[in-house]
């Protein structure tokens, strides 16, 4: 196998054979390709795309590049959810323990931030001691005893995807439907799932900006996953504003803990979390209907069982035992915290979520290079939802920064990001369609 020949053929629009793809991914997993070759392959796929059979081959090759987990010894349905990436999207942190509290086993293999979007693993690393890459024995123990484990890929699980994932983040090749499909599904197939629900984001803070693009990605994911034997559905959700009222790693952990303690009821975030819990329960045949699933999920939340499970999971993976009760004793705090105020009165009508994600990177809360260190303290909190009436000088968010100058820059950028109108906006539904 000559890597540059495979790159050339894809660059020129050829359909790669299964043997070509298997050989290229085997070399990738073995560390025999340079970053330049990996980036060139990703860019060729970005420009020329892949047919469905190529995407299936790529997905299966990456899934089989390492260990394949087996959960046949568990007496619970094995289920998971994955998001295509957004801003302030911390759904997984609450959804996994809620689903576990309702009777599912959730071995959730998550990723780091890609481009302007946040990564679940980066958020979890805000928790002191939390091990995001446990060995297989600990991972299995946590899933068995806590009911869920939110971790990253180990070196043995879909290793080819791990290396390709890092290169995509810094080569402007994140928003390729074949690469997104293969990356997401290879991890899920390797994790040994029985069912999967996908959150496909659409809007100015998503990789898929239009409904047509989001639907195309949803169909690709569902068709490839089901073709590979994994029962999968997809839900398209709005990403034209941050989903949680916080953007930033430790801030989104605080937000998740507040959610699990019942402090975020009535929000768009709650609507999405409960809807996905219901989808997982119905797909796993634990709930008879979405209404039944939503009721079970709401009970798991209100009873405190989901919060207890998150705390147990975090402690078993090395985090503090009293994280739920005393988050401020453990989570890092930025030295500069100040309000970002509305520049005029009116209705918060629109914002550019992607720019908010880029602001987080500028603050130090994301990466420009795979080796960049993240400042987990920084970001935005108490973000006011679109459709809210504000007066001039009212806080629309709080910026958390490492320095006064960084806070000045981020606050000015966020103020300029928001459109304030004299009339109330018509906003898209948070959940638009299902596949």
Element holding 433 (H helix, E strand): strand 431-434
Q: Let me know if 381 is a catalytic residue.
A: no
User: Quick one: which of 65, 271, 77, 7 has its CA closest to 186?
Assistant: 65
Query: What is the Cα–Cα distance from 112 to 115, expressed in whole angstroms?
Result: 10
**DSSP conformational letter for 78:** B
Q: Let me know if 392 is a catalytic residue.
A: no
CA atoms within 13 A on the CB side of 258: 18
Of the listed 187, 201, 312, 354, which one is catalytic? Answer: 187
Q: Let me know if 296 is a catalytic residue.
A: no
Of the listed 10, 64, 81, 400, which one is catalytic? Answer: 81
Of the listed 20, 55, 57, 80, which one is catalytic? Answer: 80
Q: Let me know if 83 is a catalytic residue.
A: yes
In DSSP terms, 231 is beta-bridged to: 195
Q: Let me know if 120 is a catalytic residue.
A: yes
Q: Let me know if 57 is a catalytic residue.
A: no
Q: Let me know if 82 is a catalytic residue.
A: yes
Of the listed 10, 64, 82, 123, which one is catalytic? Answer: 82
Of the listed 120, 186, 233, 353, which one is catalytic? Answer: 120
Q: Match 């453990």 to its residue by tokens.
A: 330
Query: What is the Cα–Cα distance from 79 to 278, expressed in whole angstroms?
Result: 12
Of the listed 65, 83, 195, 381, which one is catalytic? Answer: 83
Query: What is the Cα–Cα distance from 390 to 346, expressed in whole angstroms?
Result: 6
SS3 track for 386-420: CCCEECCCCEEEEEEECCHHHHHHHHHHHHHHCEE
Element holding 251 (H helix, E strand): helix 249-260
Query: What is the Cα–Cα distance from 380 to 245, expressed in whole angstroms?
Result: 8
Query: What is the Cα–Cα distance from 31 to 309, expressed in whole angstroms?
Result: 38
User: Quick one: which of 89, 217, 218, 110 has its CA closest to 161?
Assistant: 110
Q: Let me know if 188 is a catalytic residue.
A: yes
Of the listed 10, 64, 168, 201, which one is catalytic? Answer: 168
Element holding 27 (H helix, E strand): helix 18-29
278 C-beta neighbours (distance < 10 Å), count = 24
CB 376 within 8 A of CB 332: yes
**DSSP conformational letter for 329:** G
CB 209 within 8 A of CB 245: no
Of the listed 110, 151, 154, 183, which one is catalytic? Answer: 183
Of the listed 64, 116, 188, 201, which one is catalytic? Answer: 188
* Active site residue ranges: 80-83, 120, 168, 183, 187-188
């Amino acid at each position: 196998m000559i890597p540059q020949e495979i790159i050339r053929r894809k660059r020129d629009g050829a359909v790669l054979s299964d043997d070509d793809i298997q050989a290229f991914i085997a070399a990738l997993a073995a560390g025999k390709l340079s970053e330049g070759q990996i980036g060139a392959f990703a860019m060729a796929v970005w420009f020329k795309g892949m047919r469905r059979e190529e995407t299936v081959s790529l997905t299966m090759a990456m899934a089989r590049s390492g260990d394949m987990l087996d959960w046949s010894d568990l007496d619970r349905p094995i289920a998971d959810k994955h998001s295509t990436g957004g801003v302030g999207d911390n759904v997984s942190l609450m959804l996994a323990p809620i689903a576990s509290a309702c009777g599912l086993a959730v071995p959730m293999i998550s990723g780091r931030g890609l481009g302007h979007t946040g990564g679940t693993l980066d958020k979890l690393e805000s928790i002191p001691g939390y091990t995001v890459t446990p060995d297989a024995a600990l991972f299995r123990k946590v899933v068995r005893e806590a009911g869920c484990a939110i971790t990253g890929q180990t070196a043995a699980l879909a290793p080819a995807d791990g290396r390709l994932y890092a290169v995509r983040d810094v080569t402007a090749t994140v928003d390729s439907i074949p690469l997104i499909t293969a990356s997401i599904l290879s991890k899920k197939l390797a994790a040994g799932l029985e069912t999967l629900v996908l959150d496909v984001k659409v809007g100015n803070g998503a990789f898929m900006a239009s409904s047509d693009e989001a639907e195309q990605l949803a169909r690709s994911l569902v068709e490839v996953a089901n073709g590979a034997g994994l029962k999968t559905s997809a839900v398209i959700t709005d990403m034209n504003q941050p989903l949680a009222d916080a953007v930033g790693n430790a801030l989104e952990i605080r937000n998740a803990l507040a959610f699990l303690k019942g402090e975020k009821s009535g929000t768009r975030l709650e609507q999405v979390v409960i809807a996905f819990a219901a989808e997982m329960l119905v797909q796993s045949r634990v709930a008879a209907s979405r209404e039944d699933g939503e009721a079970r999920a709401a009970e798991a939340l209100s009873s405190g069982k989901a919060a207890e499970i998150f705390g147990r999971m975090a402690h078993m993976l090395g985090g503090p035992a009293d994280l739920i009760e005393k988050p401020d004793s453990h989570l890092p705090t930025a030295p500069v915290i100040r309000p970002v105020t509305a520049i005029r009165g009116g209705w918060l009508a629109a914002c550019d979520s992607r720019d908010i994600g880029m602001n987080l990177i500028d603050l130090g809360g994301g990466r420009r290079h795979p080796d960049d260190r993240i400042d987990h303290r920084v970001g935005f909190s108490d973000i006011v939802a679109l459709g809210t009436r504000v007066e001039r000088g009212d806080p629309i968010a709080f910026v958390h920064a490492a320095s006064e100058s960084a806070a000045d820059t981020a606050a000015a950028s966020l103020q300029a990001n928001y459109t304030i109108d004299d009339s109330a906006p018509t906003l898209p539904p948070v959940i638009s369609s299902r596949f």
